[in-house]
């Protein structure tokens, strides 16, 4: 009491070594950005939930690389974060899982390192669809965070009400960060300060408080730098070791980067049949939940049969990896060491 909490935004560069654009060309054409510190060991490919961005993994990244040898690639999925794609509206499970496979191919060519897919919520569903379609040939393991088919399908009915209850605009980034913490969307102030930056964008020249349609496509401008040919992946990698310009222009409002309400037609496709798809993946599997009440029938049976490892992390909201990054890092690290996929570091037990 009495001490003012700091809601100022924190730069991505405090957590990640670089932010790069991976340019992937195919029928739809796309350009997907991601952030990663380069270490050794298997690659943990992190897929965020709906409305979030790669930045939601920032604090988890610090926690995991201090425990085990691993490399991190956190992706912005299409329509989210810094991505620029020809068709940002197509958020089908099939398209997004193909995006993940295309990025792995662009990054590593024909010889990808061992990769573990870790996804939260929508990203967990996309991780499973990616694994089932065998789009990551070097897949080591699979981790879903707080996404279960039964619960997700039940929650879809109330989803629009939840989205309508959120503020449409924020006066500043500080204001957005403060709302995310006080509303309980993100219960960890450190994580909110870095990750909310990826959830909102400035309303360019907004006259009305509700950001006119014309600027919904606008993304905070950044300097385009020379594209360098990436010899191995064949794709061009546009390096942007750029300084974040997070000094906010006070007079500009902020709004959500993606209108989640408009993605409703894809929700069913993300989650329907997810439990059985997850159980059918032949790789070692981990399920991290915010509460045991989230288990559905298929997963309960699968868990009894020992088909996957499960851990419940109480006192967390839905954004488990943001609310309790150390506990999630501990669970993932223990899982990888148990399966002899990596080595502990820094005396991690």
Residue 242 pLDDT > 70, yes or no? no
pLDDT of residue 241: 38
pLDDT of residue 97: 96
pLDDT of residue 288: 95
Q: How does pLDDT run across 258-316, given as a tens digit for each residue?
A: 999 999 999 999 999 999 999 999 999 999 999 877 788 889 999 999 999 999 998 89
- Residues above pLDDT 70, as percent of the chain: 81
Residue 335 pLDDT > 90, yes or no? yes
pLDDT of residue 230: 42
Query: Which residue would you say has higher pLDDT here, 208 or 259?
Result: 259
Rounded to whole angstroms, the maximal C-alpha distance in the chain is 58
Q: Are 31 and 22 in contact (CB under 8 A)?
A: yes
pLDDT of residue 211: 52
Residue 30 pLDDT > 70, yes or no? no
pLDDT of residue 157: 82
CA 210 to chain centre: 26
The model carries a pTM of 0.84
pLDDT of residue 127: 98
> Taking the domain 15-166+264-339, which CATH number applies?
3.40.50.1820
Kindly list the domain boundaries of the chain, sorted by start residue.
15-166+264-339
Q: How does pLDDT run across 181-207, given as a tens digit for each residue?
A: 999 999 999 999 999 999 999 987 644
Mean pLDDT, residues 242-266 taken together? 71
Residues involved in catalysis: 121, 146, 318
pLDDT of residue 86: 86
Mean pLDDT, residues 166-180 taken together? 95
d(CA 218, CA 109): 32
Lowest-confidence region among 103-112, 135-144, 231-240: 231-240
d(CA 73, CA 145): 17
**314 three-class SS:** coil
pLDDT of residue 348: 83
pLDDT of residue 49: 95
Residue 247, both tokens: 């000094």
Query: How far from 83 is each of 21, 86, 121, CA to CA, in Å?
Result: 8, 10, 19
d(CA 168, CA 204): 15
Calculate the average pLDDT of the chain. Answer: 84
Query: How far from 162 is each of 21, 79, 197, 219, 293, CA to CA, in Å?
Result: 32, 20, 21, 24, 20
20-24, 198-202, 242-246: which is most confident: 198-202
pLDDT of residue 226: 34
Mean pLDDT, residues 81-101 taken together? 91
Give the dihedral of Cα atoms 170, 176, 179, 180; nearest 10 deg: 140
Query: Which residue would you say has higher pLDDT here, 109 or 39?
Result: 109
């Amino acid at each position: 009491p009495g001490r003012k909490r700091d809601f100022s935004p924190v730069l991505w560069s405090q957590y990640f070594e670089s932010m790069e654009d991976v340019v992937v060309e195919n029928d739809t054409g796309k350009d997907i950005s991601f952030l990663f510190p380069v270490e050794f060991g298997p690659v943990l490919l992190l897929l965020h939930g709906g409305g979030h961005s790669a930045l939601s993994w920032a604090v988890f990244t610090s926690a995991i690389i201090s425990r085990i040898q691993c490399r991190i690639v956190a992706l912005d999925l299409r329509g989210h974060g810094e991505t620029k794609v020809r068709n940002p509206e197509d958020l089908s499970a099939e398209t997004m899982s193909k995006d993940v496979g295309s990025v792995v191919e662009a990054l590593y060519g024909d010889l990808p390192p061992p990769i573990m897919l870790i996804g939260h919520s929508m990203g967990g569903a996309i991780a499973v669809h990616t694994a089932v379609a065998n789009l990551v040939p070097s897949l080591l393991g699979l981790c879903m965070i707080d996404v279960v088919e039964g619960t997700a399908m039940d929650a879809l009915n109330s989803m629009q009400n939840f989205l309508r209850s959120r503020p449409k605009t924020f006066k500043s980034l500080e204001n957005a960060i403060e709302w995310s913490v006080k509303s309980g969307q993100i219960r960890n102030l450190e994580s909110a300060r870095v990750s909310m930056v990826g959830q909102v964008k400035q309303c360019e020249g907004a006259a009305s408080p509700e950001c006119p349609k014309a600027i919904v496509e606008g993304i905070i401008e950044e300097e385009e730098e020379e594209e360098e040919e990436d010899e191995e992946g064949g794709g061009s990698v546009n390096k942007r070791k750029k300084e974040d310009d997070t000094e906010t222009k006070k007079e500009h409002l902020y709004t959500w980067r993606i209108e989640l309400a408009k993605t409703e037609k894809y929700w069913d496709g993300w989650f329907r049949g997810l439990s059985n798809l997850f159980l059918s993946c032949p790789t070692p599997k981990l399920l991290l939940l915010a509460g045991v009440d989230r288990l559905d029938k298929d997963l309960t049976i699968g868990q009894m049969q020992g088909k996957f490892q499960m851990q419940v992390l109480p006192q967390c909201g839905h954004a488990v990896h943001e609310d309790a990054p150390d506990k999630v890092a501990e669970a993932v690290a223990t899982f990888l060491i148990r399966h002899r996929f990596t080595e502990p570091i820094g005396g991690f037990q």
